[in-house]
Chains A and B, each alone.
Chain A
Amino acid sequence: MNNAMVIGQYVPGNSVVHRLDPRTKITIIFIFVFVVFLANNVWSYTILTVFALLSMITSRVPLRFVLKGLTPVWFLIIFTFLLHVIITKEGDVVFEIFTFQVYSGGLIQGFAISMRFFLLILVTSLLTLTTTPIEITDAIESMLQPLKKVKFPVHELALMMSISLRFIPTLLQETDKISKAQASRGVDFRTGKLKDRIQAVVPLLVPLFVSAFKRAEELAMAMEARGYQGGEGRTKLRELKFTKLDVGIYILFIFVILGLFFTRN
């Protein structure tokens, strides 16, 4: 299968981060995304960075995976940094490249903003690296429970999510198979004019859609045959459990936020 699929892929493990209740992880990351924007000096950034790096280290996810997850956003981070360096004209002139002056304010600003980006992506990718897709959907289902009061189809939504996640690898495999079959019949997906290459996708997409629809129908039938009738009264094999570990992490996180409020200007 495709080697690029490692982005955000779950890496099995038994670390503290893996064992956390996925609801805890989602909540903390959700809050983290907001508090990142509160940091505005060296100390507040240090606190957030230490928190993010510590979670990464305790997760025992190999650094290679984390970095691989970051590859698509490196460009964005560097671009933001450069943009701030170029545009901001505050503080003293630190140095000059040709006729262009770089201000200390620009450097600081650029560094701060790209640091935010980096932290956000690091923490969110840590979620998918240490949590199976099923756990994530279960957590979302459980966290959206209150919406049931207003007749929001929470269970159905979660089911749709887990089904689509479940079929991503299947569809990728299917794509691989069909593109190989068509390549054997002389389709060239890699070279040629853009127009030809776009046309070459048709023999790939049509069979893919046909099989996806067929699969959906079969799945619906199989579910019905096994007595599926929605979420009413349905029990779970793996219950989400809120443990002492989660309490501990919440307390730690509250200290992080308090620290942030004390250190920021």
Chain B
Amino acid sequence: MDITFENVSYIYQQHSPFAHKAIDQLSFHIPSGTFVAIVGHTGSGKSTLIQHLNGLVQPTAGKVKIGDFELTAEKKPKHLKQLRSKVGVVFQYPEHQLFEETVAKDISFGPKNFGVGDSEIQRRVTEALQAVGLSADYVERSPFDLSGGQMRRVAIAGVLATKPNVLVLDEPTAGLDPRGQKEMMEMFYERHRSEQLTTILVTHSMEDAVTYADHVIILNKGSKYMEGKPEEVFVQKEALQQVQLDVPEMVAFINRWNEKFHTKLPFTKQSERELATAITAVLKGGKSHE
């Protein structure tokens, strides 16, 4: 589903002395099937932005389009349930939303609300558990007996089981150990490709953004600060530092390398291995000159 924001603004507690503008005249377009990373410093409006994607909040001004759904300030949104069945949101610390007696029941909660049939739910529970890397033995266990990482996986399985077209991830790996983080991101990426999802990842990690995203949007104080392909956005060191963001380690390394050895290696989202090969080539090339 295509997602379009047209001059969207959102103000918390409008018409009160505590009014606070969280999003200011934001416009962007996300074509269906894209993996988008939304990056920004704390308080840049990321979390407010994603609440627009499934109609949890209505814009104070402007228009949000998600597929055929439209959210504006004037009209009361209709068919919200339908929209929410298409847009799955994994919130920060999703394990806080677990409440059922067993893992299976909690995972089937979403599909059940969206009117999925019992046998189909069964199938989806098994499939979702597998997708998040938990064995089928977990279905009858209480989610509250699991470890933090496992609870997170169950909660994510609960969102995946609703089979959304758009998957919104709000810092899904926060608080996990490094290995868990990598596994989780790989899982989302795999899912993104196999199900042709439109994925929106809110993150602090430049590394994740650069590894997985096709498109990056950088927010600052509720407005769009930069937008583009990761290899274009993440090389602009000065501009990023202006909004308290850093370039990814890979870019930092290439920059320092180029400075030290007076080479002109470009950043093309290459992997470590590709970079190593490129460097070897440069080194060998350098030798042949002597």
Contacts and interface: CB of A to CB of B under 8 A. Distances in A.
Contacts of B162: 185-186
B16 A184 contact: no
Given A3-B16, A6-B16, A184 B88 contact: yes
Contact of B159 (A177, A183, A185): A185
Given A6-B16, A180-B91, A207 B54 contact: no
Interface in A35-67: none
B99 A180 contact: no
Interface string B168-199: 00000000000000000000000000000000
A81 to B, nearest CB: 30
**Contact size class for B?**
20 to 34
B222 interface: no
Interface stretch (B61-69, B107-115, B271-279): B107-115
Contacts of A113: none
Nearest to A204: B99
Interface of A: 1, 3, 6, 174, 177-178, 180-188, 202-203, 206-207, 210-211
Given A178-B97, A184-B54, A184-B88, 9 more contacts: A177-B96, A180-B51, A181-B94, A184-B87, A185-B109, A186-B110, A186-B162, A188-B81, A203-B97
Contacts of A6: 16
B16 A186 contact: no
Contacts of A206: 99
Contacts, number: 61
A203 B54 CA distance: 19
Interface string B133-177: 000000000001000000000000011001000000000000000
B119 interface: no
Contacts of A203: 97, 99, 109
A177 B170 CA distance: 13
Contacts of B89: 181, 184
A177 B93 CA distance: 10
A187 B113 contact: yes
B84 interface: yes
A60 B231 CA distance: 56
Nearest to B54: A184
Residue in A3, A174, A183, A202 with the greatest tally of chain B CB atoms within 10 Å: A183
A210 B162 CA distance: 25
B96 A211 contact: yes
Given A177-B91, A180-B56, A186 B84 contact: yes
Contact of A186 (B51, B85, B96): B85
Contacts of A185: 84, 97, 109-110, 113, 158-159, 162
B97 A3 contact: no
B84 A184 contact: yes
Given A6-B16, A178-B96, A207-B98, A184 B109 contact: no
Given A1-B13, A3-B13, A207 B81 contact: no
A181 B92 CA distance: 10
Contacts of A181: 89, 91, 94, 96-97
Nearest to B92: A177
A74 B109 CA distance: 42
Contacts of B112: 186
A187 B162 CA distance: 13
11 contacts: A180-B56, A181-B96, A181-B97, A185-B158, A186-B114, A187-B113, A203-B109, A207-B96, A207-B97, A207-B99, A211-B96
Q: Which 10 pairs, one residue from A and one from B, show the smallest C-beta to C-beta distance?
A: A186-B113, A206-B99, A185-B110, A181-B97, A184-B89, A203-B99, A186-B114, A181-B91, A180-B56, A207-B99
Nearest to A187: B113
A186 B51 CA distance: 14
Contacts of B114: 186
Contacts of A210: 96, 99, 144
A182 B155 CA distance: 11
A174 B93 CA distance: 12
Contacts of A202: 99
A113 to B, nearest CB: 33
B180 to A, nearest CB: 20
Contacts of A187: 113
B84 A183 contact: yes
Contacts of B56: 180, 183-184
Which of A3, A174, A186, A187 counts the most B-chain CB atoms under 10 A from its CB?
A186
Contacts of A183: 56, 84
Given A3-B13, A203-B109, A210-B144, A182 B97 contact: yes
Contacts of B158: 185
Interface string B101-141: 00000000110111000000000000000000000000000
A184 B72 CA distance: 19
A185 B100 CA distance: 13
Contacts of B88: 184
